[in-house]
Amino acid sequence: MSSPIYDQLCLPQKNRDIRLLRLFPGDWEHDIYGEIRVANMDESSYWALSYAWGGGQRLRTLSLNGTQVSVTANLESALRRLRAMKILDLWVDALCINQADTSERNHQVALMRDIYHRSEEVIVWLGEETLTSSDSPTGSVRDAFATLKHILDWSDSLSTQLKTLAIGLETLMGVPWWTRTWVVQEIVVAQKAQIVYGSTTLEWAELATYAKVLDNHLEKCCAKVFDNLSADEQTALYNFINPLLDIESLRSQLANGRPYLLDLLRKFRSRLASDKRDKVFAFLGLGNLSRQEPIKVDYTMTNCEVYQEAALGLIRDTSSLQVLMCGSEWQEGSQFPSWVPDWSAPIPYPGLLAARLRQVSSGLYQASKGKAPEISIYGEPALFHLTGIAVDRISRVGEIMRPFADRADYKIGEDVRDWQKVMPPSSQEYVGGCYSNIAAFKRTMFTDLFFEESRGASRRLDERDSISWGTWWRSNAQGFVNPNLDFDGVDETLETATAMRRFFVTDQGWMGLGPAATCADDHVFVLFGGETPFILRHVAENMEVDQSNFGKPSRFSLVGDCFVQGIMDGEILDDSAKCVQTVSLI
């Protein structure tokens, strides 16, 4: 329901006017009073609040312009703290935007990048101090801040400092702010930011510097001490470092141009949003489409419509099907088409990092030889039509490969040998090249890539790598990987390639790795615009893949992207026996 405050303070949608909150001074225990007014963003001095909205229940009331307004307990606490800090002119989304007016909301949300960028300072409200099990205020967070302030002076690796940090940082990073989607833009575009956690404050720039220095310590002088910490302590330290470094990396990208929207959607996919449409809208101010009409904030659209528009826009903008690699396991009856990533779906942790690395490395392949996607949407219900070439039907699949981190015994070789039982006779010539099936199988295990630790990136496999992966292979013939052996990136390469994937073989003998959902009778396709092949599943059992049935598309659901040894560089397009056909994805 719209508040009468907004009826009296309308915002024209053809200029850059915003509402600002003026907090009236008051003692800590007094009720909060304030005034909302209209101001021009470019001519005003104000602070912008970045916070987690908190629970859905509105538990507190404020008096604004003489009207009682309900807010969450977390926001009320923030305003009470900021009033005590004499920060009185604020932009707060929950109060300065009429959330009940969709048209105004669309307009103001589209301005949010500029609102935060032009503010005097962004106030990052992490919440009130909590009580520890020792019933004292969270001194561990203050201790952590105090320890961080001396980190530049560390000359020796001392386990006591790291343990103190781990305890405090676990509390600090456990507050909801770090999990929210919108705060990425709010902090990245800030010219200056201050963190407020209860009565404790710290400049964001300081905290970011501490994260970089701590990361350097853990990689170098403190590496041995770090290895001796408990798993929980190690996790706590990196749960502090990684989000800070991600934000600062994005800040550097923005300074040199706009990031790619798909990269933002993938990188921050695990963050949460109360409105699922914000999983896309929250990043449009940082990286939108460059060659197509930009995606607009529109809260009249459904979640599915927003995600579908984003997927289509990304495909057309990049002439690539890379966004199709971002879907999770699709279920029949889902509100989303199988080809549209559901950015709000929970992402299973096992294999998540490996999946991201595979997506980043997909540009090393050219399964469709750079051919632009030929796409259209029509029909009732609407179907997504693409062109491509059917490679073959999958006849056999192996078990799902568990991530290495789940294995205390390092017995990776057992699963690899189980996959070998699925492959065609090892001595026979492989269908996709002048080498044996066992040679093709080995290259499949690495997806024809090699991870270079020095660069933190993958490259295509070549003869330089034969010694490293040959040593790994001989070790696994004994049934285990010795953790004391240094395989120079082989372990990272293998895990990236295989974690939460299935090995499969097709009728003709093609070997590959596909999603965990891959089944026998699925079909491998090379779709125009795809850097990798894709696995598709018929929506009706009696349908056949017809190589010559161009113009009469078969209906499929998208299972996901895959690797197939021997067709990753467009070889299938040179096969005169293969015909281009149209397929329709539900």
Residues 309-350 have pLDDT tens digits of 999 999 999 999 999 999 877 877 788 999 999 999 887 767
> What is the structure's pLDDT at 531?
98
Overall domain count for the chain: 4
Residue 193 lies in a domain: no
Q: Which amino acid is at 550?
A: F
Q: How far is CA 505 from the centre of its chain?
A: 31
Give the end-to-end CA distance of the chain in Å, rounded to a whole number. 38
Distance of CA 452 to the CA centre of its chain: 23
| Residues whose CB falls within 8 Å of the CB of residue 326, separated by 6 or more in sequence, listed in order | 262, 265, 266, 269, 341, 359
Q: For the segment 84-102, what is each residue's pLDDT rounded down to a tens digit?
A: 998 889 999 999 999 999 9
Buried-exposed string 486-523: b where 16+ CB fall within 10 A, e elsewhere: ebbbbbbbbbbbbbbbbbbbbeebbbbbbbbbbeeebb
Identify the pLDDT of residue 136.
46
Cis geometry, peptide bond prior to residue 425 (ω within 30 degrees of 0): no
Distance CA 563, CA 302 (A): 34
Segment 242-291, tens digit of pLDDT: 999 999 999 999 999 889 999 999 999 999 999 999 999 999 999 989 88
What is the DSSP secondary-structure string of 404-427?
GGG-SS--HHHHHHHHHTTSSPTT
Q: Indicate whether 113 and 12 sit together in one domain.
A: yes
Q: Give φ, ψ of 504 to 5 degrees.
A: -140, 160
Question: What are 111-145's pLDDT values in tens digits?
Answer: 999 999 999 999 999 999 876 544 444 457 888 88
The span from the CA of 146 to the CA of 169, in Å, is 12
Q: How many residues does the chain have?
A: 586
Angle at 407 (CA atoms; ends 406, 410), nearest 5 degrees: 150
Over residues 533-559, the mean pLDDT reads: 71
Same domain for 115 and 144? no
435 plus 495 within the same structural domain = yes
| Same domain, residue pair 111 and 139 | no
- Asked if residue 196 is part of any domain, the answer here is no
Beta-carbon count within 10 A of 72 CB:
19
Strand partners, 90: 21, 47
pLDDT classification of 423: cutoffs 50, 70, 90: very high
Burial of residue 53 (CB within 10 Å: 0-12, 13-18, 19+) is: middle
216/268 same-domain check: no
Q: Is 365 contained in some domain?
A: no
| Residues 284 and 233 occupy one common structural domain | no
244 and 265 part of one domain:
no
Tokens of 373: 């996607």
Backbone φ, ψ for residue 48 (5° rounding): -115, 135
Structure confidence by residue, pLDDT tens digits, 429-486: 999 988 999 999 999 999 999 888 778 789 998 877 777 777 777 776 555 555 555 5
- Domain ends where: 325, 360, 375? 325
- Of residues 117, 40, 34, the one with CA closest to residue 71: 34
What pLDDT, on the 0 to 100 scale, is given for residue 417? 85
Q: Which of 292, 325, 358 marks a domain boundary?
A: 325
Alpha helices by DSSP H, 453-580: 466-476, 490-498
Of the two residues 406 and 426, the one the predictor is more confident about is 426
As a whole number, mean pLDDT of residues 11-39 equals: 94
- Is residue 292 predicted with pLDDT exceeding 90? no
Tell whether 350 is covered by a domain.
no
The residues, any chain, with a CB within 8 Å of residue 303's CB and separated by 6 or more, are: 276, 277, 335, 344
Give the pLDDT of residue 406: 61
Classify residue 189: in a domain, yes or no.
no
pLDDT, position 185: 99
91-122 in b/e form (b: 16+ CB < 10 A) is bbbbbbbbbebeebbbbbbbbbbebbbbbebb
pLDDT above 70 (res 548): no
pLDDT in tens, 436-448: 999 999 999 999 9
Contacts of 178 (CB under 8 A, 6+ apart): 243
Confidence of residue 154 (pLDDT cuts 50, 70, 90): low
* CA–CA gap between residue 109 and residue 93 (Å, rounded): 9
Look at residue 129 and give its three-state secondary structure: coil
Quick one: pLDDT at residue 308? 96
Classify 332 as helix, strand or coil: coil
Whether residue 396 is found in the same domain as residue 419: yes
Residue with tokens 């599943």: 537
Percentage of residues in the chain having pLDDT higher than 70 = 90
User: Do 411 and 535 share a domain, yes or no?
Assistant: yes
Q: With left for phi above 0 and alpha for psi between -120 and 50, is residue 71 left, alpha or beta?
A: beta
| End position of a domain, from candidates 275, 301, 325 | 325
Task: Answer yes or no: is pLDDT of 408 > 60.
Answer: no
Is the same domain home to 240 and 269? no
Whole-angstrom Cα distance, residue 210 to residue 203?
11
Domain assignment present for 487: yes
Report CA torsion sign: 103, 109, 114, 119.
positive
pLDDT number for residue 218: 87
Q: List alpha helices for 222-351, DSSP H.
A: 223-227, 231-255, 261-267, 278-281, 303-318
Rg (alpha carbons) of the chain, rounded to whole number:
27
Per-residue pLDDT at 6 exceeds 90: yes
| 433 and 566 share one domain | yes
**How far is 451 from 466, CA to CA, in rounded Å?**
13
Are 556 and 337 contacting, i.e. CB atoms less than 8 angstroms apart?
Answer: no
Indicate if the pLDDT at residue 545 is higher than 50: no
Please tell me the predicted confidence (pLDDT) of residue 327: 87
Give pLDDT tens digits for 191-245: 999 999 999 999 999 999 999 999 988 888 888 888 888 999 999 999 999 999 9
- Please indicate, yes or no, if residue 209 is contained in any of the structural domains: yes
Residue 242's domain spans which residues?
131-180+204-254
Same domain, 491 and 554: yes
Q: pLDDT digits over 358-401, tens only?
A: 999 999 999 999 999 999 998 767 899 999 999 999 999 999 99
Residue 346 Cα to chain centre, angstroms: 11
- Sequence-distant (6+) residues with CB within 8 A of 252 are none
Residue 288 to residue 55: CA distance in whole angstroms: 30
Q: What's the mean per-residue pLDDT of the chain?
A: 89
Angstrom distances, CA of residue 23 to CA of 4, 17, 82, 89, 380: 19, 19, 9, 7, 54
8 A C-beta contact, residue 36 and residue 110: no
pLDDT of residue 239: 96
